[in-house]
Amino acid sequence: MSVSTGSEIRLRKLTPNCGVEVLGVDLNHLSNSEMEAVRQAYVDHGVIFFRDQKLTPEEHIAFARRWGDIDINKFFPANQQYPEIAEVRKEKTQKTNIGGGWHTDHSYDQEPAMGSILLARELPLEGGDTLFANMYAAYDALSDGLKKTLDGMCAVHSNAAAFGAGGYYKNSDQAGGFKGESLVGEAVHPVVVMHPLSGRKALYVNPAFTVCFEGWTMEESQPLLQHLYKHAARPEFTCRFQWRDGSIAFWDNRATWHYAANDYHGERRLLHRITIGGEALN
């Protein structure tokens, strides 16, 4: 279904509750009114997609800077020419991909990143889609009793299990590209956040980085966390984005999860990611 924005830009929903394609736009030549329409789509939907965008690395960086300060990744392999760009790469010989499970980026930071602008550079012939889940919709669908329980709770987030010296990536065939194992850390955030742009409530826990509820043990936390994870990944809250040359996904880490499908062994996949800095969550 297409939705008019009042300009030449049109929005086409991927699914009823998650993700829209932004049509009729050239990201290299956005007028101020078009930029505002794109910004509103991002706020309203949490993840937006673009097709047929032939951005150079310099243009990718320039578009990102229209949204805020760039957060240079401490752990991902960086593009050698452009430190602002992190490379999401899987070589033909590798079995491990980057982001191969439901997560939201940077929830382990005191000020989690606003979002990331991911641009396709090299794609497998088949596979390599990215799935997204809408945490506004996930929160809205909770029972009133569970909402009441979660409101006011906080959770501990840590990146040690993913990026630490004994973590997942440093003990995989991606180890050579990853860095910063001494820079791991943790943060505490509300389980339900009031989104700083939309003012809507969103569920803010994720399987990759949420360790436990604040003041609870890990063992005590797991039953409720697993229930929330299963709930948030329900098909009606998700969409699946199929990459093509020139495709871009731009997601809001405070309102969505994402998951990179690892179904293209023996082929190379390279995407360029620029992450925009965020703020403390309430």
Domain ranges (residues) in the chain: 2-276
pTM, whole model, 2 decimals? 0.95
Q: pLDDT at residue 78 above 90?
A: no
- 105 catalytic residue (yes or no): yes
Rounded distance between C-alpha atoms, residue 221 and residue 215, angstroms:
10
- 60 catalytic residue (yes or no): no
Residue 166 · residue 57 · CB < 8 Å: no
Exactly one of 45, 60, 89, 103 is catalytic; name it. Answer: 103
Exactly one of 60, 258, 269, 272 is catalytic; name it. Answer: 258
Q: Percentage of the chain with pLDDT > 90?
A: 95
pLDDT recorded at residue 7? 55
Q: What is the mean pLDDT of the chain?
A: 95
pLDDT band at 221 (very low <50, low <70, confident <90, very high): very high
Exactly one of 105, 121, 189, 195 is catalytic; name it. Answer: 105
User: Whole-angstrom distance between the N-terminal and C-terminal Cα of the chain?
Assistant: 34
Give the pLDDT confidence of 231-278 residue by residue, as tens digits: 999 999 999 999 999 999 999 999 999 999 999 999 999 999 999 999
Q: Which range (110-119, 174-183, 203-212) has the least confidence? A: 174-183
User: Is 126 exposed, middle or buried (CB count within 10 Å of its CB: 0-12, 13-18, 19+)?
Assistant: exposed
- 103 catalytic residue (yes or no): yes
Say which CATH topology domain 2-276 has.
Answer: Double-stranded beta-helix (3.60.130)
- 265 catalytic residue (yes or no): no
